[in-house]
Homo-oligomer: A and B are copies of this chain.
Amino acid sequence: EIVAAAEAVLRDTAIEAGNLPLAGRHVLITSGPTHEPIDPVRYIANRSSGKQGHALAKAAFEAGARVTLVSGPVTLPDPANVNVIHVESASAMLAAVESNLPADIAIMAAAVADWRVASEGTQKIKKDGSGRPPALELTENPDILATIGHHGSLRPKLLIGFAAETQNLIDNARGKLERKKADWIVANDVSPETGIMGGDANTVRLVSRTGVEDWPELDKTEVARRIIERAAEALAVK
């Protein structure tokens, strides 16, 4: 807490000196997985540690921004000097994001579940003795990135999405960019053999309308710093 307070003071001094590129800006970030309840004891989850999203929140704070972090269930501590909103499901995450607009930059780094169970059980589902499992009827979750991308007056000036894929990385990222009206997609290959999921390093490709940039393998902290640096530059010329 003392360290966090000192960091805040130092940052305010840097802002006053005009040294921080995101001073006066609001940056809205999502991080972590979502959990979609099946019944009181079971849920469907995505694998996501939240390390990349939380690192982005820290980097945005260090760049001078006011930061709102909407986080799914993670085991990471809340980053200091950041307004953190804890949510569980994709629906709750969307509601938290929308109620925290407007934002200059929005970075949707959470691994949001594409589907949820159509009707959540209020009681624990029991085996019925038939050996046949229950049918689990799924329904599509709201698409947070697309919803924000298609906002009118409340669309962030710069909207950045993530694409975690195991195949057709660039094609999938380009498709997302168009369909969801994002400005950039940070694409990464999360095949288990890469060790990216849950790990400390990340190898990303930055996909925009003008092309694809391949970044080397970097610590997630460093990936976050570069994304924030690039976002500040882009915002300065908008």
Contact = CB atoms under 8 A, between A and B. Distances in A.
Contact of A42 (B40, B47, B192): B47
Contacts of A192: 40
A134 interface: yes
A4 interface: no
Interface string A124-155: 11110001011010111000000000000000
A192 to B, nearest CB: 6
Q: Copies per complex?
A: 2
A73 B75 CA distance: 12
Contacts of A123: 166-167
A46 interface: yes
Nearest to A43: B45
A42 B44 CA distance: 7
Interface residues of A, number: 37
B138 A131 contact: no
Chain A interface SS verdict (over half): loop
Contacts of A131: 140
Contacts of A212: none
Interface stretch (A56-64, A102-110, A111-119): A111-119
Contact of A46 (B41, B46, B47): B41
30 contacts: A35-B45, A38-B44, A40-B47, A40-B166, A40-B190, A40-B191, A40-B192, A41-B46, A41-B47, A41-B111, A41-B164, A41-B166, A41-B190, A41-B197, A42-B46, A43-B45, A44-B45, A75-B75, A114-B127, A114-B133, A115-B133, A115-B134, A123-B166, A124-B165, A124-B167, A127-B140, A133-B138, A133-B139, A134-B138, A136-B138
